Amino acid sequence: MKLSTKARYGLRAMLALAMLPDGASGKTIAESRSLPTAYLEQLLARLRNAQLVVAVRGARGRYMLAKPAENITLADIVEALEGPIEIAQCADVPSCAEDPDVCAIKDVFAEASRTLRGYLAGITLADLVEAQRAAENSSGRMFHI
């Protein structure tokens, strides 16, 4: 399984916002994280609808986290952008089984999905910020937006 571009870009944008307590414009985030601005704006709209970010309008318009980074999990972000975290749905594959209710593979996929969701739910945006800062400090590089 591979996360889509939506999820990867959304996680990068949320990390940028978590590192900027005063928020930033979509353009600033896009430029600092090498993301396409128009696509990022679409993702930020989804994150706003999920109440993970807020948009401050005006001449100094910007996006900010809607709640503390400690209260936002990676699962929250991925689900806001992708929908439920699922490895696969047997019902989506017409030839998977005649009766999906008695399919052993379905149970394996369901458990893998629960495990992945649980893992992502156990990592907060604050944890990711801490890991990012540690990585930047250990590499000797410092990035500022």
CB neighbours of 85 closer than 8 A, spacing ≥ 6? 75, 78, 79, 113, 116, 117, 120
- Return phi, psi of residue 21, to 5°: -60, -25
Per the structure block, which two tokens stand in for 105? 């593979």
Can you tell me the distance from the alpha carbon of 27 to that of 41, in angstroms, rounded to the nearest whole number?
Answer: 8
- Residue 39: pLDDT over 70: yes
- The dihedral sign for the CA sequence 69, 74, 75, 78: positive
pLDDT at residue 72 is higher than 80: yes
The whole-number pLDDT of residue 107 equals 82
Burial class (CB in 10 A: 0-12, 13-18, 19+), 34: exposed
pLDDT digits (tens, 9 = 90+) for 41-67: 999 999 999 999 999 988 788 999 999
For 80-130, write each residue's pLDDT tens digit.
Answer: 999 999 887 766 666 665 666 777 777 888 899 999 999 999 999 999 999
All domains of the chain, ordered by start, with CATH? 5-139 (1.10.10.10)
- E strands in the chain: 53-56, 62-65
Per-residue model confidence (pLDDT) at position 61: 85
Given a cut of 90, whether residue 140 has pLDDT beyond it is: no
